[in-house]
Amino acid sequence: MRRVEMDEEVDDRLVENVACVVDQAQPRDARLAALASQLTEDIWRSVEHHISTQLSARSTGAVDSDDVFGKDSDTGGASVAATSNSSGALDPEISRYVKRLLPWIRPEVRDAPALALEKTMYPMVSAFILLVAYAMQNRILGDRLYENLDRSGCRIILPFRLTDTKPDGADSDEKIDIGLVCKDVDDEVKGQLDKPRYDGLFSIIEAKRNKSRADYLSAYSQLFCYTQNIYVNQIDRRFAWGMVCCNTTVNACIFSNYNVHASPDIDVAHISGRKELIRLLVGWSLCLPQQLGYDQTITFNNELGCYEVQVPKGNVAGEHEVYYCDDSVVAATRIFGRHCRCLLATPEKPATKMTSENKLKHTVVIKDSWTVYDDKKAEAQAQAQAETGEQEHEDDSDSEYRWPPQSQFVPRNGARSEIRMLEEIHEKLSGDKQLRGKYPQILAGGWVCQPSGSAACGTSGGKAVIDSTREIIGMLDAEQQKDTPFCLHARHAMTPIGQRLRKVDSAAELVIVLNDAMVCHNAINERCGILHRDISANNILVVREKGKPIQGMLIDFDCAIVESDKSASIRPERTGTLPFMSIANLERMDIQRTVLDDWESLLYLVCWLATFGIKSDNDREDETARLPISSWSSDSPSITAQTKRNHLASAETFRGNILNHFQTGQDPLNILGLLATELHESLFFNESLDERVRTQCHGTWNTHGRKTEGRKTNLKERLAELRVKSDYKSTGRVNPFSERIQHSGVIVRDILDVLAGIAELARGESGN
């Protein structure tokens, strides 16, 4: 099922022929950029010299065929002094690597079975990577030209020897072709012998022996699946690199939040293609860690056995507080989107090293995610360029290297800033004791900044640079900008610490928690003018504090909007979590998003948990795919919307498709069945509405209901009405979702009363 999903993602997300992809791997410091260029040129000339020598030798039949991964091939072999030099001397190690990769890069010298199987490509591709790593190491460690280079800022990229394997940390049995890892520049150059682990992989290569369009797209679909696991297992990963090799054609790609940007074809059968691939590998070896996708504000402290996390503080770029983290409650489980992570932490520096037995005493939750700064994608990047005063490079020798392009960019305090919203919520609701602990209290937070200096040039630290998608993918052309949201990286620390919703002990506790969260939701909407727009299982937490009754907390305002921003509330943007999205949201109806959409999401959440299990240890073990509710997540948004319309069309269809499949064992009093029934009736068949508008407001399907006096009983009168075109046109088809918006106040008050009553029953049942 996931491969089908990823096939669709490739169709929607892959942006091809992005010229700046390999450029994004190049060092941003002028001196290092010049060094990378020189190294690329030197290594390329050396490789081409060895290739031409090999080809000449083959024509005389004087070449043997060593295996780079053979029994005696795991050492660096030749000494630094053995590197080919300006006199044209051959390096035995480079010669050995070239022998192994030659059938890949020069098809005319292949034996018939050379690429008969995909697996035969793996050692050839690995040999190219090892060759560049070996040549890099020899020059950096052995050439006096680089003696002033700080090697701590350099690295080599190495492949794992174990190919076609399932790395540790995978969420499926799928195997990767080749895994890449970053190693210190003075590490031994060889295929890594240990088993790949997703928490340590730098990048993944997916290979295909053919270069058809179908193979190309299939390679990306597989790469999408694998790369998702990198985000799940690495809390310090901002973005990821990937590579596909279809026969001799290589494409490097950058996974950003909403797209994958792929380089133009790099054909290693041609001399220019080999040079470009060398340029990429050299760039990866010398660029800043954040250019590889790593977050320099989240670092692991080996002495303390935990992560140090910098949380922005104040409005000065780079100003921060340090928190200590050894656990997380939410991982970035999706390959695209906000990459939201929630980390458990404390501001107190531990006195001893943390272990599995000696854990930190967590007092705060740190939320790390990416926020869409502006949906006007091209305009947002143009604004950023204008505000930075950025100009084209006219002289690369200029002492002040003009990078990063965002270095002077300070974002507006936009209405979509979760931090700003939380501050406003606290300001307006802090005096209400009934709401304390039911929404997050922010302690510190802001836009994340990455350091711009380079350790290799002795400028580590440097000016703090606001982290954005433009830092990741560079300046796109106008057409590519249209499809690429402009996002900023945000992080904040907050209290109290909550547990996942499925940590409730009973259906009664679940109802209490949901009531607390939605009472808070209503207060935030009425008193702060903020609409949440993402009611889901992940965004309502359980709070248990010693000596206090259980309560619920509403979190995650990344999708929230200020309702006074009409352009934001009316836009047909699809937000939220698929199974819990309202019908209007799924269909992107051109109507205003209101609190009714969030209450509809609550109905779906109740139905989902009542069907699949309110606790993680009582998941259904039967074939859930056969249940009607399963289609809420397995189909496309439009099909899901149609399915929900059918399921909720009447009390009978709701009972037959949904209520009858609730788990009775977890809810002996059927309190969730009562809640779902009341929510359904209040939202779609509310009897509190005036009789004159019920016809237009009831149901899930558009009707020909009239908005004037009652229906004529005389058939001649009705026929006369229909013949008057203007009258018929004014009657039209009535959209109940649009009609209900006008009466949302009545509907919400009705729901709050019902929910409060059921919550009171639940408290009596649970003893809270």
| DSSP string computed for 156-218 | EEEEBS--SB--BT-SSS--BSEEEEEEETTS--S-B-SPPBTTT--EEEEEESS--HHHHHH
Highest mean pLDDT among 96-110, 517-531, 629-643: 517-531
pLDDT at 448 exceeding the cut of 60: yes
Work out the end-to-end distance of the chain between its first and last CA atoms, rounded to an integer number of angstroms.
Answer: 42
User: pTM for the complete prediction?
Assistant: 0.83
Of 560, 332, 297, 320, nearest to 445 by C-alpha is 320
Rounded distance between C-alpha atoms, residue 133 and residue 217, angstroms = 29
Dihedral of CA atoms 671, 677, 679, 683 in degrees, nearest 10, equals 180
Confidence of residue 88 (pLDDT cuts 50, 70, 90): low
Look at 309-323, 340-354, 469-483 and tell me which has the smallest mean pLDDT: 469-483
Question: Residue 626's pLDDT is what?
Answer: 82
**What is the arithmetic mean of pLDDT over 383-406?**
39
Contact partners, residue 506, CB within 8 Å, separation at least 6: 614, 666, 765, 766
DSSP state, 708?
A: S
Lowest mean pLDDT among 143-157, 243-257, 396-410, 446-460: 396-410
Q: By C-alpha distance, which of 137, 145, 143, 176 is closest to 159?
A: 176
DSSP conformation letters of 299-364: EEETTTTEEEEEEE-SSSTT-EEEEEEEEEEE----SSS---EEEEEESSPPSS---SSS-----E
Judge whether residue 311 has pLDDT over 50.
yes
H or E element: which one contains 518? helix 507-528
User: What pLDDT band is residue 151 in, cutting at 50, 70 and 90?
Assistant: confident
**pLDDT value of position 133:** 97
Locate the domains of the chain by residue range: 2-292, 295-497, 498-689+743-768
Confidence of residue 316 (pLDDT cuts 50, 70, 90): confident
Q: Are 201 and 193 in contact (CB under 8 A)?
A: no
Q: Using CA atoms, how far apart are residues 273 and 245, in angstroms rounded to an integer?
A: 12
Give residue 65's pLDDT band: very low, low, confident or very high (50, 70, 90).
very low
Give the least confident one: 42-51, 688-697, 720-729: 720-729
User: Is residue 423's pLDDT more than 80?
Assistant: yes
| Residue 352 pLDDT greater than 70, yes or no | yes
DSSP secondary structure of 346-380: ESSPPSS---SSS-----EEEEEEEEEEES-HHHH
- pLDDT (0 to 100) of residue 484: 80
pLDDT reading at 567 higher than 90: no
Among 370, 371, 367, residue whose Cα is nearest residue 325: 367
pLDDT tens, 160-190?
999 999 999 998 889 999 999 999 999 999 9
Q: Which carries the bigger pLDDT value, residue 472 or residue 198?
A: 198
Asked if residue 708 has pLDDT above 70, the reply is no
pLDDT, position 411: 54
Q: Is the pLDDT of residue 397 over 50?
A: no
What whole-number distance in Å separates Cα of residue 584 and Cα of residue 588?
A: 6
578 or 181: whose pLDDT is higher? 181
Helix (H) or strand (E) holding 522: helix 507-528
Confidence band, pLDDT 50/70/90 cuts, at residue 513: very high
What is the per-residue pLDDT across 579-594, written as a single tens digit (0 to 9) for each? 999 999 999 999 999 9
Residue 405 has pLDDT above 50, yes or no: no
Assign 442 to helix, strand or coil: strand
- Distance, in Å, from the CA atom of 765 to the CA atom of 768, rounded to the nearest integer, reads 8
pLDDT of 390 strictly over 50? no
Q: What is the reported pLDDT for 277? A: 99
What pLDDT does 644 receive?
Answer: 97
Please indicate whether residue 489 or residue 406 has the higher confidence score (pLDDT): 489
Give the least confident one: 253-262, 627-636, 704-713.
704-713
Rounded percentage of the chain residues whose pLDDT exceeds 90: 63
Buried b or exposed e, range 686-722, using 16+ CB within 10 angstroms? beebeeebbbbbbbbeeeebbeeeeeeeeeeeeeeee
* One CATH from 3.40.718.10, 3.40.50.2300, 1.10.510.10, 3.40.50.960 for 498-689+743-768: 1.10.510.10
Say what the pLDDT of residue 763 is.
92
pLDDT for position 402: 34
- Does pLDDT of 551 surpass 80? yes
